[in-house]
Amino acid sequence: MSIHILQTHPLHESCETALAERFIVHKLYEATDRDRLLTDTGKLIRAIAGGQVSAGLMDRLPNLEIIANFGVGYDSIDVRAAAARKVTVTNTPDVLNDGMAEITIGLMIALARRIPQTDRYVREGRWPAGNFPLTHELRGRTLGIVGLGRIGKEIALRAQAMKMRVVYHGRNRQDHQPYVFYSSLLDMARDADWLVVVIPGGAGTDKLVSRAVLEALGPDGMLVNVARGTVVDQEALVELLQSGGVGGAALDVFEAEPTVPQALWEMENVVLSPHQGSATYETRDAMGALVVANLDAHFAGRSPLTPVT
C-alpha cells in the first residue's frame, strides 16, 4: 500500500531521497497552486515531513496521523492543534547537540577575538599600516547559559575547556549539574560576562531576553543567540549595541529570517551568521535519518522514536 505524505519545505538531500524511496511525496512548497494541491490530495495525506504546520493546514488533511519535524525546535508547528486532532508530532533532538555546541563556541571566539574583522583587515590591505587593536579572551569569564538543556550542557562542557566559569538559568534547578543556578535571569545577566541563549522558541519564551536583561548584561557584556530570534528583544538589542549599552553580540538567529536589520550589518561589535547551528553534513544527515526513522516506526505500528510530548 502506498502512503502519501506532504513535504512542507525543502529538506536535506539524503532525507528527501529516503522519503521518496518509501512514500508518495507531495511537495507543498513547489506547488504553483497550493490550494489546489490540498484540495486534490488532502484526503490522501497521512504524514507531514517538515515544519511550518498551522491548524488551518491540518484542517485540510483529515487523515493526517503524524508530523515529523526536521529540527529540534518545533515552534513553527501548532502542537496544541495537533494534539486536539490526535496527530503525533516528532522532532530531531540530540543529533544536533555537538554541532550546535561547536558553532556556539566558534561564535564566541569569533566575537571575542574579532575574527571576521581581522580577516577583513588583512584582505583590505590594512595590516602594513598598523596592527589590529587588541582584543579579549574567554578565559576566566563567566558564561551564563539561558537554558541548560541537551545543547546547553554540551556548550557548558566546551566552555569549561575555554577555562570559563559556567552558570545557568532555566525553569528549574537541576540537582545533578555542577553549575550555579540562577532562578532570576536578570540577576544572572548582571553577574555574567557572556549570555548564551539556547532555549526553545514559542509563546512561552517570547522576548525572554528583554531590554532589562540586556541592560543588566551591560556595556562589557556579550550576547550569543543560537536559539530563536523571537527569544530576544531584537529592537532593544540593536539600540543597546548602538549606544554601547551592550558590549557585543554574536547572532545565528533573527526575528524575521532571512531579514537581518541593516543596523547590525554596520556594527563592528557584532558577528552575524545565517542560522547555521545545525548546518553541517554530519548533523543534517542525522536529522534527516531521524525524520525517516520516526515515520518508519509510526507506519510499522510502533511508537515514534522522538515524539515531542
CB 88 within 8 A of CB 308: no
Task: Give the DSSP letter string of 256-287.
Answer: BTTB--HHHHT-TTEEE-SS-TT-SHHHHHHH
Of 201, 271, 188, the closest CA to residue 231 belongs to 201
What minimum distance in Å lies between the beta carbon of 176 and ligand 8YV?
26
Q: By CB under 6 A, is residue 89 in contact with ligand 8YV? A: no
The answer to whether residue 257 is catalytic is: yes
Q: Is 151 in the site for ligand 8YV (CB under 6 A)?
A: no
Binding status of residue 226 toward ligand 8YV by CB under 6 A: no
In the sheet with 165-169, reading across from the earlier edge strand, the strands are 180-182, 165-169, 142-146, 194-197, 222-225, 248-251, 270-272
Nearer to ligand 8YV, 7 or 138 (CB): 7
CB 277 within 8 A of CB 99: yes
Q: Where in 260-279 is the site for ligand 8YV (CB under 6 A)?
A: 275, 277-278
Q: Minimum distance between the CB of residue 277 and ligand 8YV, rounded to whole angstroms?
A: 6
Cβ contact 166:143 at 8 Å: yes
Of 180 and 293, which CB lies nearer to ligand 8YV in the complex structure? 293
Residue 73 makes contact with ligand 8YV by CB under 6 A? yes
Distance CA 61, CA 44 (A): 8
Q: How many residues bind ligand 8YV (CB under 6 A)?
A: 8
Name the residue nearer to ligand 8YV (CB basis): 170 or 288. 288
Q: How far does CA 167 lie from the centroid of its chain?
A: 21
Give whichever of 273 and 278 is closer to ligand 8YV, judged by the CB atom: 278
CB 226 within 8 A of CB 107: yes
* CB-based closest residue to ligand 8YV: 71
- In whole angstroms, how close is the CB of 53 to ligand 8YV at the nearest point? 13
**Which sequence positions are flagged as catalytic?**
228, 257, 275
